[in-house]
Amino acid sequence: MTTQQDLYDALGVSREASQEEIKSAFRKLAMEFHPDRNKSEGAEGRFKEIAGAYEVLSDPEKRGRYDRFSSAGVNGGQAQGFQGFEGFGGFGDIFDAFFRGTASRRVAPQRGADLRVEMELDFADAVFGVDHELVFDRIEGCAECKATGQRTGTDPATCPECEGQGEIRRVQRSLFGQFVNVATCTRCRGEGRIITEPCSECRGRGERRVGARRAVKIPAGVDDGSQIRLSGEGDAGSHGGPPGNLYVQLGVRPHEHFRRAGDDLLYELPLNVAQAALGITVDVPTLDGDEVELEIKPGAQHGELLPLRGRGVPHLRGSGRGDLVVRAHVVTPTKLSADQRELMQQLAESLGTPSVPDDAGSLLGRIRDALG
């Protein structure tokens, strides 16, 4: 660029060009030489020159001064005229002012949708954790066209409806005066550009629903209703927005022997009345797979709780495990043989009517405990 260059030459228009012609010439050249789009050497300098010329010629007052005094009349000199453009805020501002749509900034970035998948776990897998592979569908940006929708190697066109603005402005008159109605351009849906040759992979949508596989580590100690969040594994965002999250909703299948109470496991140990009265040593199954020998002392009450420390569910946060709580379940016989009936009869007469035991195993005892 030389300081001698004529501003009209810079835009390639005649000195008689209308404002409309100047605008259209600038737009065409700026599209070609914008540093974001044109990486060739000299493009930046050329763009600066174009933008500087446009800054002067698009302003009737400055253009008039330029015409009267040629280069000397504008800001005291043509070179300074270009510097004046720098004060305008740089390439980005002036470019955006004219090409907001084509720069695809007209449409706000949109975060992708969150996805939810349900997963059924075996009881023991929820307790001890498990590695799982999730298979689910999600929307991903098309890799072929880099999510643009436009066939690779071809360029989208500026939307003719909104001239790349992404919106249509209409002046409306009403009783209350005049106002400008701004509506998103329906032709390009606010994109400012339209696809001329759709990508064959995504048919111009820029995104595709694809089957995804994702390894997920279910931590030890999750429970029915727990939720796991996999950040950024949801649907892809659009217009540069981030992807959504994937939420895995966990369900736990019931176990044949064990129930969960937080981080404790409950095991109901069936005892007949004689075993409860006399005491017994039993092998209690654990979720770990082995058995633990447990001594039931004589006089065990129905509902009595016998904790096996550290044999429960690993704490989800922190270390250690809950307890395996064995609950004595005294089962009263419902069918008796003649012999058993005879024995029970003798026992009943011998024992007489009992009083409610005042210990923690009885309901009364527990209520008293709770009341302090």
Residues in contact with Zn ion by the rule CB under 5 A = 142, 144-145, 159, 161-162, 185, 187-188, 199, 201-202
* Beta carbon of residue 20, minimum distance to Zn ion (angstroms, whole number): 19
Task: Give the integer Cα–Cα distance in Å for 57 and 17.
Answer: 10
Q: Name the residue nearer to Zn ion (CB basis): 188 or 276.
A: 188
Q: Based on CB atoms, which residue is closest to Zn ion, 17 or 157?
A: 157
Name the minimum Å distance from CB 149 to Zn ion. Answer: 6
Q: Shortest Cβ distance from residue 183 to Zn ion (Å)?
A: 10
Least Å from the CB of residue 241 to Zn ion: 18
How far apart CA 117 and CA 218 sit, in angstroms, is 14
How far is residue 357 CA from its own chain's centroid?
Answer: 57
Tokens standing for residue 51: 């933008």
Q: Do 147 and 153 form a contact (C-beta atoms < 8 A)?
A: no
Q: From the CB of 97, what's the least distance to Zn ion, in Å?
A: 17
CB of 159 to Zn ion, least distance (A): 3
Whether 270 and 331 have beta carbons less than 8 Å apart is answered as yes
Nearest-approach distance from CB 46 to Zn ion, in angstroms:
28
Q: 169 vs 309, which CB is nearer to Zn ion?
A: 169
Q: How far is the CB of 197 from Zn ion (least distance, A)?
A: 11
Indicate the residue among 15 and 169 with the shorter CB distance to Zn ion: 169
DSSP line for 188-228: TTT-SEE-SSB-TTTTTSSEEEEEEEEEEEE-TT--TT-EE
- Residue 106 main-chain phi, psi, to 5 deg: -65, -35
- Closest CB to Zn ion among residues 57, 162: 162
Element (H, E) at 18: none
For Zn ion, give the closer residue by CB, 107 or 188: 188
Closer to Zn ion at the Cβ: 210 or 348? 210
Nearest residue (CB) to Zn ion, 38 versus 184:
184
Let me know: does 184 contact 120? Beta carbons within 8 Å: no
> Where in the chain does DSSP place strands (E)?
115-121, 130-141, 157-158, 167-174, 177-184, 193-194, 207-218, 227-230, 246-252, 258-261, 264-272, 280-285, 291-296, 305-308, 324-331
Q: Which residues contact 109 (CB under 8 A, 6 or more apart)?
A: 237, 238, 239, 240, 241, 242
Amino acid identity, position 22: I
